[in-house]
Homo-oligomer: A and B are copies of this chain.
Amino acid sequence: MTKLPEPPYYAVIFPNQHAESTEGYGKAADRMVELAKEQPGYLGIHSARNADGSGLTVSYWADEASIAAWKQNAEHQAAQQGGIDQWYSSYEVIVARVERSYSGPEGRPSS
């Protein structure tokens, strides 16, 4: 899985529901993951989708400035418009400041 740094950093949580037609989505989504990786402040991504079309992506960023810059990226803006116009029936964007983290099973604290 994505190797994340020690907190603090930022998470952009993106729950979404696919619309009936998702033509072109897969290619655009793959491209956005590649493009995000090239952005300053990008730290990682986790993403999953259920068979019913509901999905959840969390991307991680060094700070709010890197989130804002990614949102304004021209190619990303075109993809966002595709999401609004076609690919998503609904979505949320939830921006959060990561305060602590741990991993497991091995790294799990005993407390």
Identify the A interface with B (CB < 8 A). 1-2, 4, 10-11, 13, 15, 17, 46-50, 54-58, 83-85, 88, 90-105, 108
A31 CA to B96 CA, complexed, in Å: 27
- Report A4 CB to chain B, min CB distance, Å: 7
Alpha-carbon gap, A17 to B2, bound state (A)? 12
Please tell me which one of the listed residues B13, B93, B102 contacts residue A92 in the complex, with CB atoms under 8 A apart.
B102
B94 with A4: CB separation less than 8 A = yes
Please pick, from B1, B49, B96, the residue contacting A11 in the complex, using a CB distance under 8 A: B96
The answer to whether B15 touches A90, judged by C-beta atoms less than 8 angstroms apart, is no
Min CB–CB distance A5 → chain B (angstroms): 11
A25 to B83, CA, bound (A): 33
